[in-house]
Amino acid sequence: MSEVVDVRAGEERPASSPEAHAEQLRGAQALARAVRVLSDDVIRMPAGTYSEEFARRVQEISLEMQEHLRPSIIPWFYDDPRTARGRGESLRNKDELSDFNPVVPPIRLTLEDGEAHGTVVVGPAFTGPPGRVHGGTVATILDHAMGLLVSATARPSVTARLEIDYRGGAPIGQELQISARIKSADGRKTWVEAEIRVGDILCSRGLGLFIVPAVAPAS
């Protein structure tokens, strides 16, 4: 059987080569970004005579994509060996969730000295009150930062409790600073604190309880 090749700029390389894999992952990231931008645009586009035509064109693309879907409803990058998570190395690429999932804000986090720090710019698709990030999205961002920090301790845990103190609205379209730190750990339980700020202004603070399950969840 002949080997499948990718052809770019006159160059052939095996579809299973590291270069081809990297290119495929970049394509998946670009697709997620495009869908995220599309969602932001839909939020900003008033209803009009053009709405039905745009809907038809988007549906056509959706139908084309269905030909390439896999049967499982589990996100493809959870177990694809081309991704860090699929290889069991999720902490080496902490941004894969937002890289490949268009319904998650583009969160960027780093781990250093036992803390997590990062930034995110949340688009209009995640609006709650006018000009402000939806409270559920705020909770998602805080939970993601806290969960990442706990997972860095090599203790596979799940969120058992999440408390959010909404101090003020987080603005849409501005860079938000995220931080998380472990407050305490006792047996299977880990308590984590996290914050979202804009400059010196505290937007929200979270406290999460993470528990190592009796049977560790599949990665």
Other C-beta atoms lying within 10 Å of the C-beta of residue 154? 7
CB 173 within 8 A of CB 179: no
Tokens 């081809």, residue located:
20
> What is the DSSP pairing of strand 5-8 with strand 11-14?
antiparallel
Q: Which pTM does this prediction carry? A: 0.83
C-alpha to C-alpha distances, 33 to 39, 45, 149, nearest whole angstrom? 10, 18, 25
pLDDT at 92: 47
Position 82 pLDDT exceeds 80: yes
Longest dimension (CA), the chain: 62
Q: What is the pLDDT of residue 114?
A: 85
Q: Looking at the DSSP assignment, which residues form a beta bridge with residue 189?
A: 186, 211
Domain 105-211 sits in CATH at 3.10.129.10
- Which pLDDT value is given to residue 5? 39
Q: Which amino acid is at 74?
A: I
pLDDT value at position 91? 55
CA distance 202 to 195: 7
The answer to whether 193 and 181 have CB atoms below 8 angstroms apart is yes
Percent of the chain exceeding pLDDT 90 equals 70
> Mean per-residue pLDDT for 199-214?
95
Domain ranges of the chain: 1-103, 105-211
